[in-house]
Amino acid sequence: MTQVKICGLSEPATLDAAVAAGADYVGFVFFAKSPRNVSLEQAAALAARVPDRVGRVGVFVDADEALLGGAIHAGRLTAIQLHGADPAQAAAARRRLGIEVWAALPVATRADIERAGAFRGAADRLLFDAKAPKGADLPGGNALRFDWRLLDGVAMTMPWGLAGGLDAGNVAEACRATGAPLVDVSSGVEDAPGIKSADRIRAFVKAVRER
C-alpha cells in the first residue's frame, strides 16, 4: 500500500484530520522562513495528539544540532527530513542523533536523480522533490512538480518517496507513473500557504487509497 505523508501541519484540527484520514506520517516544519514553521512548544502540543502508529517527521533546512535535538524531543519525532544536506551530513546526523534520516533530493534533471546513489547507506529514505527555482525562499513546499518520467527505469536501492506539486487530482496518476511507495504533500492540501484544509487532506488520502 502506498504510504502517505501530510507535511507542514501546524494546527490541531488539520493534524487530527490527517490522522483520522489515515495518513501514515505527519510532518512538522522547523524552518523560520516557512509559513508552516512550528515552534518547539507547538510541536510538542501537536505531537501529543498523534497516535504511535503514525510517524512524525521533522523537516529541517541546514539545522544545527541544538535545534535537531530539541525538535526530536519536543515533537517525539520518528524521523528527520533534511533539505540541503549532502550524504556525509545525512550520515553524520544519523550516527549522532540515532534517528531515521530522510534526505530530500531536489530534482529538475536526470543528473539530479543520479545523485541518489550517493545517499545509499547514508540516509534511510530518499525523498525526490521538485527543485525550487533560484532565489526561492523555501527549498520545499513550493507546489511545484518535476517531470516524473525522469524516474523511469531508475533502479531504487533504498526506500524512497515522491513529493512536489501533488494534490488529490494528480496523486493517483503520480503513483501509477512512478510506483512511489510513499507520497508527500503540503501545498496541495492547503487553501493558502500554511493554511491546511481538512477537506483537501481527506480528498488526498482518499485519492491514494482508492486508486
Binding site for ligand LARABZUK (CB under 6 A): 7-8, 27, 29, 31, 34, 36, 59, 61, 83, 129, 138-144, 163-166, 184-188
Q: How far is the CB of 57 from ligand LARABZUK (least distance, A)?
A: 8
Minimum CB distance to ligand LARABZUK smaller for 58 or for 122:
58
Question: Which pairing describes strands 195-196 and 190-192: parallel, antiparallel, or unpaired?
Answer: antiparallel
Minimum CB distance to ligand LARABZUK smaller for 108 or for 138:
138
Cα of 163 vs its chain's centroid, Å: 7
Minimum CB distance to ligand LARABZUK smaller for 94 or for 131:
131
**Range 186-211 burial, b when 16+ CB lie within 10 A, else e:** bbbbbeeebebbbebbbbbbebbeee
Q: How far apart are CA 105 and CA 131, in angstroms?
A: 8
Strands (E) located in 48-136: 55-61, 79-83, 100-107, 125-130
Q: How far is the CB of 28 from ligand LARABZUK (least distance, A)?
A: 10
Minimum CB distance to ligand LARABZUK smaller for 134 or for 155:
134
| Closest residue to ligand LARABZUK using C-beta atoms | 141
Q: How far is the CB of 129 from ligand LARABZUK (least distance, A)?
A: 5
Q: How far is the CB of 142 from ligand LARABZUK (least distance, A)?
A: 6
Q: Cβ neighbours of residue 143 under 8 Å, at least 6 residues apart? A: 165, 186, 187, 188
Q: What share of the chain is helix, strand, coil (3-state, %, to 5)?
A: 35, 25, 40
Minimum CB distance to ligand LARABZUK smaller for 178 or for 186:
186
Which of 14, 18, 17 has the alpha carbon at shortest distance from 6? 18
Q: How far is the CB of 18 from ligand LARABZUK (least distance, A)?
A: 12
